[in-house]
Amino acid sequence: MHIKPGVDFSRLEPEIVSALWKASEIYERHGHIMTLTSGREKADGRKKNSKHPQGLAADVRTRNLPGALHKKILDEIKAALGPQYYLMLKATPEPHIHIHFNGISP
């Protein structure tokens, strides 16, 4: 996994760290290196109830992937993480998958 300069990777909750690990393996299975583009740092356009400042959300880049892989990788990460996680393809500020933890830890 690459980490975009300026991204705060520290103090992410274990639920997100483990999700990033699994997501990264899925990228690699398709021959791509995943880049973390957002963690806990402040960013323009965050919603008030964003889980980013709590360390319970992360964004990973999709703009380097061929178009056909965006949805495929999204679906595979969703299946790997299960219903405790919410994932969404977003177009701004650059194409990425937003992942946050909604559920209850085991």
CB of 61 to Zn ion, least distance (A): 12
Q: How many CA atoms lie within 13 A of 92 on its CB side?
A: 4
Asked if residue 37 binds Zn ion (CB under 5 A), the reply is no
CB of 42 to Zn ion, least distance (A): 12
Interface pick for Zn ion out of 56, 59, 76, 97 (rule CB under 5 A): 59
Amino acid at 31: G
Interface pick for Zn ion out of 40, 51, 61, 98 (rule CB under 5 A): 98
Contact 97, 78 (CB under 8 A): no
103: helix, strand or coil: coil
Asked if residue 51 binds Zn ion (CB under 5 A), the reply is no
